[in-house]
Amino acid sequence: MSLYAIGDLHFSNSVNKPMSIFGENWNNHQGKIIENWKKSVSDNDTVLVLGDTSWAINLKEVKPDLDIINSLPGKKIFIKGNHDYWWSTVTALNKLYDNMKFMQTNFYEYEDYAICGGRGWICPNNFKFDENDEKIYKREYHRIKLSLDEAIKKGYSNIIVITHYPPTNDKFDESLFTKLYEEYNVQKVVYGHLHGKESFKMGLKGIRNNIEYILASCDYLDFNLIKILE
């Protein structure tokens, strides 16, 4: 059993949203992801899907995309991304598939680890951070804290956090999120959202204060999946 991650699938089987407009490397990106997924993942593995899964705007439109993901090997755990307008309630989504779980303020077990997290939000920065951003930033912090609290109540000490947004700004300043992860002794934080070489530089990667930060947006991974745990 292994634990993998990938973010920003941006599937669009019901809507006309070709990702090739963001660069030639996105040509047939869905096909690349599916091929690499089948090569890497077994039915006994688990995949963390880090938001921006589909361009759909409702459950009817997203169904073909989710059906394809459901047909791929492994169990899947999803969080919401900023483009996942189809995302309804976690209760409703968790009724759709047996091996696909959707997370918001709750957590899921993986062996002796708790998988916690949530969407996150942009952190305070010098480019764009207004009162509305601050409101969402604090709300998302509290949602992730609820997820962590649930895991702690159940006795978990090994914790992996998944978010859609990076945990810091482009200067890697301390944030509510990084302070929270350090307070709860999180082992790993896995996130997506960033696209393109210039954006990749803005993502915190590697070990900081005993936490490993992992960028797993699909184009950063060249449309492969990254193994988080053996």
Beta-carbon contacts of residue 159 (< 8 Å; ≥ 6 apart): 113, 114, 116, 148, 151, 184, 185, 186, 187
Which residues constitute the domain of residue 158? 3-229
Which residues, in sequence order, are CB contacts of 33 under 8 Å at separation 6+? 6, 9, 218, 223
What's the rounded Cα separation, in Å, for the pair 76 and 200?
A: 25
Q: What is the CATH number of the domain that holds 139?
A: 3.60.21.10
Number of domain units in the chain: 1
Place of tokens 């070489």: 197
Which pLDDT does position 16 carry in this prediction? Answer: 81
Tell me: the pLDDT tens digits for 158-207? Answer: 999 999 999 999 999 999 999 999 999 999 999 999 998 889 999 999 99
Judge contact between 54 and 66, C-beta under 8 A: yes
Region of 15 on the Ramachandran plot (φ > 0 left; ψ -120 to 50 alpha; else beta): beta
More confident residue, 24 or 67: 67
Confidence of residue 128 (pLDDT cuts 50, 70, 90): very high
Query: pLDDT tens, 84-114?
Result: 999 999 999 999 999 999 999 999 999 999 9
Q: Give the whole-angstrom CA distance, residue 200 versus residue 122.
A: 15
Q: Please tell me the predicted confidence (pLDDT) of residue 119.
A: 97
Q: In the block, which residue shows the tokens 């010098």?
A: 126
Can you tell me the distance from the alpha carbon of 21 to that of 17, in angstroms, rounded to the nearest whole number?
A: 9
